Amino acid sequence: MDLILVGFMGSGKTTVGKLLADRLGKQYFDLDQLIVEQTGMSIPQIFAERGEDGFRMIEQQCLQSTNEFPGILGTGGGTPMQRNNQEFLGKAGAPVVLLSASIKTILARLAGDNNRPLVEKLGAAGLADLQAQRHDTYLNVSDLQVATDELTPFEVADKIIDQLKVAK
């Protein structure tokens, strides 16, 4: 893996990850999509049939399988919350970039997205609480943080590329 994106749902991981992959001539891998491909079920189906714990087990297995993938990986919003996944991210040998956004921005981005079981389950107040609970863990696993609220996806990608050049 060349770069790993983490952050709360709706922070822009997939959109920015695809842009980064295009600009850097890399392949983009979306962890949720890998899970769907491996199981043959949608994320909501997995949550309904196996619960969140079952989903997290599958997620961990898929994350471990990305170790040798060449390119950019977009993780799920809850991926860094599992201890084994934190260890994997720490040993991956790739920069981990946190994309952050305010809950207001996230709610606007997620409006009408029916493929997010936790959005329906928790509602706006619950999502705000969940984001706050995850914040410190996101920071702990990240090498770099980029706030996406006031930036276009192109600007976020440019900022990441520029900051990674400086970090080398």
Which residue numbers belong to the known binding site for Mg(2+)? 14
Known binding positions for ATP? 10-15, 116
Q: Are 77 and 85 a contacting pair, CB within 8 Å? A: no
Known binding positions? 10-15, 32, 56, 77, 116, 134
Q: Are 9 and 117 a contacting pair, CB within 8 Å? A: no
Residue 99 carries which side chain, given as an amino acid letter? L
Known binding positions for substrate? 32, 56, 77, 134
The Cα 145–Cα 160 span in angstroms is 9
- Report residue 118 as tokens: 């936790």
Q: Are 32 and 43 a contacting pair, CB within 8 Å? A: yes
